[in-house]
Amino acid sequence: MTVSGSPRAITLGVYPSSRGFGWAAFENPFSVADFGVFTQLRRKNEACLERIAALIARHEPEAVILEAFDGHESRRSRRIRLLSRAIQSLATDRGHEVAIYSRRDVRSTFADVAASTRDEIASAVARSVPALGMKLPPPRRQYDSEDKRLAMFNAAALVLTHYRNGATAFLDDLRDAA
- Note the pLDDT of residue 64: 97
Q: How far apart are the first and last CA of the chain?
A: 43
- Note the pLDDT of residue 7: 43
> HSE (CB half, 13 Å, CA atoms) of 40?
17
| pLDDT tier at 171, thresholds 50, 70, 90 | low
- Note the pLDDT of residue 146: 79
In angstroms, the CA 26 to CA 24 distance is 6
- Note the pLDDT of residue 74: 72
Q: Regarding predicted confidence, which is higher, 168 or 53?
A: 53
> HSE (CB half, 13 Å, CA atoms) of 23?
27
In angstroms, the CA 114 to CA 170 distance is 25
Question: By percentage, how much of the chain surpasses pLDDT 70?
Answer: 88
| pLDDT tier at 2, thresholds 50, 70, 90 | very low
* Entry pTM: 0.87
pLDDT digits (tens, 9 = 90+) for 111-151: 999 999 999 999 999 999 999 988 988 887 877 777 799 99
User: Cα–chain-centroid distance for residue 69?
Assistant: 13
- On whether the 11-137+147-161 domain is CATH 3.40.50.720, my answer is no
- Note the pLDDT of residue 178: 60
> What value does the mean pLDDT of the chain take?
88
From 62, 95, 93, 80, select the one nearest 15 (Cα to Cα). Answer: 80
Domain boundaries, the chain: 11-137+147-161
- Note the pLDDT of residue 169: 59
Rounded mean pLDDT, 24-43: 92
Q: Regarding predicted confidence, which is higher, 49 or 1?
A: 49
Task: Assess whether pLDDT exceeds 90 at residue 175.
Answer: no
